[in-house]
Structure formats: C-alpha cells, structure tokens
Amino acid sequence: MSAVFVTGATGTVGSAVVADLLARGQDVIAGVRATRDERIPDAAVQREFSYGAGAGEIRDVLDGVDRLFLLRPPAIADVQATLFPVIDAALRRGIRQIVFLSLQGVQANRRTPHHAVEQYLRETRSPFTFLRPNFFMQNLSTTYAEAIRRDGEIFVPAGRSRTAFIDARDVGRSAAATLTQPGHIGKAYTLSGEQSLGYRQVAEIMSAVLDRPIRYARPREDAYLARLASAGAPQDYLEVQKMIHRVVRLNISAFPNRAVRRLTGQPATSLEQFVDDYRTAWIT
C-alpha cells in the first residue's frame, strides 16, 4: 500500500488535504482521535492517532504509508516530544516525502515551534516539503466571526496594514499537489492569495457580498487583548495574538503571489468567493 497519512485530518487544513487527495485518486489514511469520526469521508481509512503516543503505536499507525502530511496542532508547544518522534518513525519506515504545514516568515522567527520542526527536518535529512501559508481567510469565519455577526465589525488590531489572505482550501489543494507530483522535495513554498487587502477593504467586500454593513473597527492592541482576556482567553494565547498582529502591522503578510496557481494550475480563491461560500458563518 502506498498511502498518504494525514495528521489533523478533521481540521480546517487537514480536511481539505484529505478531500483533495481523494479527488486525485490517492489512498488516504486519516489520523483521528476516535476510531470512527463521521467528518472523515468514507473513501479514507481512519486510524486512531495522537501526538505523544509511544514509538510502537506511531510505527503501527504508519504501516503502509509512504508520504506524510504533518501539521502542528495549536495546543502543542513541545514539538520535540510530540512531532519529532513522528518524524523519526516516518524516517525509519522509509518515508519518501513529509509535507510540513509551517508558517509564513518562519525562517526569520526562531521562537516559533514551526521553526524548530523545519530545522529538525533539515538536520535529519528528511525528504521534506515546507508549506508556509499566509493568514487564513477562515479566521474571518471562525476567530473573528462573533464580532462580525453580532456587531457588524471586524475587531482586529491591524492598523492600516495589508494582508494577502489565503483560503485554507487552497492550502489543501497545494498540499495535495506537492504530495502527488514530482519535484517538490527540499522545496519551501510561501502560500499567499493573489489580492493584497487592507481590513477596510475586507469590510467593504463583506458588506457587498453579505448585503449588510460591516465595518473595520481598527482597535488598539491593548483594547483587542483586553476583549480577549475578558472572554477568558489564557495568557499564552494573548501573547501569540500580540505577536501575530505585530507582524501584520509590519506588513510582512502584505505581499500576494501566485504560488497556488503554479502548484495547482488554478488561481487562489478570491475573498469575494470565500465570503459567498461561507456566508452562513456571519448570519445572526
């Protein structure tokens, strides 16, 4: 069996990877927490998997696998104890490719867990491919959705910065392409959308598509963090949010590219299309 093992298979990106691999006729093994997860398509094989499992369990779950899609769940900080053993087990299995979902700009940010994983994949001479996505459009339909739905405002401390947002579905398509086409071993791809937008423009697009007024509140960082804290967000989450939006305000995420188009043969999803597809996320 020559299958792709997908970690995070029920998540925003992982589910897109599973769907696109299946559409390409690939054998897919989805790593799930339970022995049967209804969110996984019937065409995929499910295997119970969790980071931090013993070496024998990881070895068994990778049986018949020749490619691995690897991502770090947000709750995991200690990648040395969790992701590194999966990489080691995959290498012992003779894995021919590991596609790692990394982070835009990670090569210049040594404090992130993603940097440590990339470095380990290089040190172990793994057959890696790095995908470094920009900000997900799905943040609008998840993290920021309540304020948009309830108050008609995008409440993020992004100032006048611009962002080339990427649809997580495009990340899934790009991952599937790199896992099924030759020539991607040892490569790193920054995945951005083809539009560079300020949040005021994002609000205008959402207003037009949803036919209701949405505005960009443009809060100060302290007001944004105070709102998160009042909603019960832990301190480590606040620190991550602080770091993320300071990077945004530096316009590091502003630059669009055509990486999705080059990898998949199709353009990246526009924000207009995304908002139309996800419109139920903002219905009151």
99: CATH: 3.40.50.720
Task: State the pLDDT at residue 284.
Answer: 77
Q: What is the mean pLDDT of the chain?
A: 93
48 found inside a domain: yes
Range of the domain at 207: 135-166+193-253+269-284
Total count of domains within the chain: 2
Q: Note whether 158 and 283 are same-domain residues.
A: yes
Alpha carbons 32 and 51: distance in angstroms, whole number: 11
pTM of the model: 0.93
Of 108, 133, 158, which residue sits at a domain end? 133
Residue 174 pLDDT more than 80?
yes
Do residue 99 and residue 56 come from a single domain?
Answer: yes
Q: Are residues 158 and 275 in the same domain?
A: yes
Q: Which of 81, 115, 133 lies at the terminal end of a domain, its last residue?
A: 133
> 111 and 161: one domain?
no
pLDDT at 138 over 90: yes
Q: Are residues 140 and 69 in the same domain?
A: no
Q: In terms of DSSP bridges, do strands 65-70 and 97-101 run parallel, antiparallel, or are they unpaired?
A: parallel
At residue 109, the pLDDT reads 74
Q: Kindly state the tokens that stand for 79.
A: 């990648």
| Same domain? 122 vs 7 | yes
pLDDT digits 0-9 by tens, 20-52: 999 999 999 999 987 788 899 999 999 999 898
Share of the chain above pLDDT 90, in %: 77
pLDDT tens for 207-245 read 999 999 999 999 999 999 999 899 898 887 788 788 788
Regarding whether 89 and 198 lie in a shared domain, the answer is: no
With respect to residue 100, please indicate whether it lies within any of the assigned structural domains.
yes
The DSSP code sequence of 14-55 is HHHHHHHHHHTT-EEEEEESSS--TTS-TTSEEEE--TT--H
